[in-house]
A and B are shown apart, each in its own frame.
Chain A
Amino acid sequence: MHTKTIVELSQGLKDKNFSCVELMQYYLNRINQSDLNAFITVTDELALAQAQVADDKIALGNASILTGIPYAHKDIFCTKGVKTSAGSKMLDTFVSPYDATVSQKLNQADLVMLGKTNMDEFAMGSSNENSFYGAVKNPWNRLKIPGGSSGGSAASVAGGLSCFATGTDTGGSIRQPASLCGITGLKPTYGRISRYGMIAYASSLDQAGPMTKTAQDAAIVLNVMAGFDEKDSTSAEQKVPDYTSNLNDSIKGLIIGLPKEFFSSGLDDEVASNIMLAVKEFEVMGAIVKEVSLPNSAYAIPAYYIVAPCECSSNLSRLDGIRYGYRTKDAKNLEDLYLRSRSEGFGEEVKRRIMIGAYALSVGYYDAYYLKAQKVRHLISDDFKKVFEQVDVIMGPVSPTTAFDLGSVKNPVSMYLADIYTLSANLAGLPGMSIPAGFAQNLPVGLQIIGNYWSESRLLNIAHQFQLQTDWHLKTPQEY
């Protein structure tokens, strides 16, 4: 049952092979028996109540394809009446008084939420080790990281604890854990999905997306998540197509660009050969492969680690221990209240990034850091623009290595280097995907596909065609 896709579960519900309540009980049992630490909160009562509503709709014949499908929701999305922690002690007691637009849309689609997934605190991290609730284990090897920051979401899908999950991606936080856990993840174009009620890390980079078993499922979920939202001032007024309608188009003649900078030193040999085999598969399917260059992509790391911390230092200034969230005990005065609430409530990595931002935005340094990084961001975006004049999509690895050992990377700069292939799509605002493309050291390897603005349909079509020819996405961990 837990290997089934949205399409398969939906058929099973429609054919009355099982009820939605039975389906939820099955998944809740699996979650309770799991040692992955993928969930921060399990909403069992709510799930069973939502399942009953879904069963009633199915009985009346009013069901859509998503009615009664169980999903796991990243704990960064506000959910009315349900704890929303963002993986932080700061919000450990925060029960959201409202729903994020994404939460509202998923509710309206009669989906059933199993719970809220573990994540790096405020989405800052690439290993899910920066969570107040402890690290998440990779279902393929429990000694390895699942990736981050949407590590709990990725592990829940790969570990058969949910049919699909939501994620957010500021610098790779959907694609990298999807890659390391062997699932399908899509980060849409910036502005495609509303950020309202999605706890902000870096507002000009954050974007939500689906994490699923297949590209077809991702298209079905994106249909519900996408769309203009008046409540998000950066939401794009762009029509939402039916993302499932082009899945079966031929990819004959597709021009794929391989940026030489994505295959430079630092890339694991076995990962590289898996990526090249996947690209070969596309050639067999009729695609044309070209080498291209993104000359400024190496600067994505320094540019990102200025832009994102600057925006986070501003966004997280709202957490002051006064209106909601953690408050220190027995503060001597107002300043002591601010200082101690924030120092006790935030974890190490969050504090580090707040300080980078505070410094880079301070008088005398703003031009040298923030403004400079924004200019470099423009150069990175222009590189993509030039490449997309010659090719339809860009392909390459998601991550330079497979999942590394829990606790093995302690130096923040080394951790930042793990994001080298994912950051540039966020800086440019482009859509990107990770799809399962093989194994190295018995761990999943993800292929990254980056497209031009608003090309989600094309990306999903390409990924779906690949999944019709390969079975990497069907592989499941041994102790599954």
Chain B
Amino acid sequence: MSLSEKQVSQIAYLARLSLNEAQLKDNTQDLNAIFSLVEQLANIETDGIEPMSHPLHMFQRLREDVVTEKDQSALFQSIAPKTSNGYYLVPTVIE
């Protein structure tokens, strides 16, 4: 398997990253090197093996459905780049 620059550019876009020409070239090379290391996984026999998503095989703990947090929106918004009247501001989405 080998990723083309076009594919790497698409992957970057999926992750909302943009790469300039030099970065695209370097990343294509690096990603191909990394995926050729990862290809070893294909040689391992894993039929009937359960995927391990948690080291302790724990299940998600549930708690009572009660309010535990108080409203701290003003504090949390105080560190936002741009807010107005309790809203987070972004560039115009709909003209």
Binding site for B on A (CB under 8 A): 94-95, 97, 189-191, 204-205, 230, 233-234, 236, 296, 299, 301-303, 305-306, 313, 317, 320-325, 327, 331-340, 342-343, 346, 348, 351-352, 354-359, 362, 368-369, 371-379, 381, 411-413, 416, 427-430, 453
Contacts and interface: CB of A to CB of B under 8 A. Distances in A.
A191 B93 contact: no
Interface hub of A190, A191, A359, A428 (most chain B Cβ within 10 A)? A359
Contact of B33 (A343, A355, A358, A411): A411
B18 A97 contact: no
A355 B8 contact: yes
Given A334-B93, A358-B14, A375 B50 contact: yes
A355 B50 contact: no
Nearest to B16: A338
Contacts of B58: 191, 234, 236
A429 B37 contact: no
Contact of B56 (A190, A313, A320, A376): A190
Question: Which of under 10, 10 to 19, 20 to 34, or 35 or more describes the interface residues of B?
Answer: 35 or more
Closest 8 CB pairs of A and B: A429-B55, A374-B51, A327-B81, A375-B46, A378-B52, A358-B15, A190-B55, A338-B16
The dominant DSSP class at the B interface is: loop
Contact of B11 (A359, A411, A430): A359
B31 A428 contact: no
Contacts of A301: 37
B11 A355 contact: yes
Nearest to B7: A359
Given A321-B81, A358-B15, A378 B41 contact: no
B6 interface: no
Chain A CB within 10 A, most for which of B33, B37, B51: B51
Nearest to B45: A379
A355 B40 contact: no
Given A305-B34, A376-B44, A379-B44, 9 more contacts: A233-B60, A236-B58, A302-B37, A306-B41, A322-B80, A356-B34, A369-B41, A375-B49, A376-B46
Nearest to A340: B18
A270 B25 CA distance: 39
Contact of A323 (B38, B42, B46, B80): B80
B56 A351 contact: no
Given A378-B52, A428-B55, A343 B79 contact: no
A233 B56 CA distance: 13
